[in-house]
Amino acid sequence: MAHYAMVIDLNTCTGCNACMAACAIENQTPFWDNKWRTKVHDLTTGEHDGDTLRIFFPRLCNHCDNPPCVAVCPTGATYKLDNGIVDVDDDICMGCQACTLACPYDERYAIDYEDNTAKKVWFGEETLKKTRPGVDKCNFCRDRVENGRLPACVETCVGNARMFADLDNPDDPVTQLIKSGQAQPLMPHLGTKPNVYYIPVKHQTIHFERHEFDGMGPEGGLEPVGPEGVHAREDEQADASPFVSDSPFAALG
């Protein structure tokens, strides 16, 4: 049995947001309402020209081996598979969001009736993957993985910053990278035993606090515009580019 994990190399992430776009289409997430299974934050460290550093910091569910979201779910809708993936059973999720509060990585969001109505416009009613209100999160593109494919974000990463691993395979080069200690999990002191690892930018350390990444806001990422019949957020302009203005892809909008 495989045990899946992901490594993200912060040295090679270009901030192109291809992973966000691929995930949104693959998993039909309500990105027009700023709800994503994975996000890429645009961060700057340092205060002076000589010590400033721009870092693109991707985030997603950490698929913990000791997941607090599973422990608090009152219906058993959130569960962990033998292959390491943490998933949500839409049929029994009642949307109480206890799991959202319990997740120290802030990697869950609620789907409501308005989201599902808008999804019919974006993706077509006959192809919807989720039709009930509840809670959504990354599941490592479980359907793809179980069919021998990579998660959409890994497959589309132009900088090869995202790498997928089978921890039960000692010959897997990504597993070997994890075992070497070069890749580090977020907040290991919590005891959640996350299965998403980061290779820090050279001469930097990884620091993460949930409150520092409360939504996308000015930190960067895609800023979608709703299609006809779907209202964009109030802070969006109807003629805005789907990319932030300083993105190298802004001209494509």
pLDDT digits (tens, 9 = 90+) for 195-225: 999 999 875 555 555 555 444 443 344 444 4
Tens-binned pLDDT, residue by residue, of the chain (253 aa): 899 999 999 999 999 999 999 999 999 999 999 999 999 999 887 777 777 888 899 999 999 999 999 999 999 999 999 999 999 999 999 999 999 999 999 999 999 999 999 999 899 888 888 888 999 999 999 999 999 999 999 999 999 999 999 999 999 999 999 999 999 999 999 999 999 999 998 755 555 555 554 444 433 444 444 444 444 444 433 333 343 454 443 343 4
Cα–Cα dist 40/44, whole Å:
13
Residue 37 CB contacts under 8 Å (≥ 6 apart), including other chains:
23, 24, 27, 29, 60, 61, 136, 137, 138
Task: Give the pLDDT confidence score for residue 216 in this predicted structure.
Answer: 41
Cα–Cα dist 172/165, whole Å:
7
Fold classification of 4-252 is Alpha-Beta Plaits (3.30.70)
Reduced to 3 states (helix: H, G, I; strand: E, B; else coil), residue 211 is helix
Cα–Cα dist 194/89, whole Å:
21
Task: Give the pLDDT confidence score for residue 203 in this predicted structure.
Answer: 54
Q: What are phi and psi of 197, to 5 degrees?
A: -120, 150
Reduced to 3 states (helix: H, G, I; strand: E, B; else coil), residue 114 is helix
Cα–Cα dist 39/237, whole Å:
21
Task: Give the pLDDT confidence score for residue 213 in this predicted structure.
Answer: 47
pTM: 0.80
Task: Give the pLDDT confidence score for residue 66 in this predicted structure.
Answer: 97
Q: Which of 17, 235, 32 is nearest to 120 (CA)?
A: 32
Q: Are the C-beta atoms of 37 and 137 separated by less than 8 Å?
A: yes
Q: Give per-residue pLDDT as tens, 121-131.
A: 899 888 888 88
Sign of the C-alpha dihedral, residues 201, 204, 210, 214? negative
Task: Give the pLDDT confidence score for residue 231 in this predicted structure.
Answer: 42
Q: Which residue has the tokens 């080069």?
A: 173
Task: Give the pLDDT confidence score for residue 208 in this predicted structure.
Answer: 56
Q: Which of 203, 205, 204, 183 is nearest to 194 (CA)?
A: 183
Domain ranges of the chain: 4-252
Task: Give the pLDDT confidence score for residue 128 in this predicted structure.
Answer: 86
**DSSP codes, 166-209:** ETT-TT-HHHHHHHTTSSEES-GGGS---SEEEEPPTT------
Q: Which of 139, 19, 174, 134 is nearest to 67 (CA)?
A: 139
Task: Give the pLDDT confidence score for residue 127 in this predicted structure.
Answer: 85
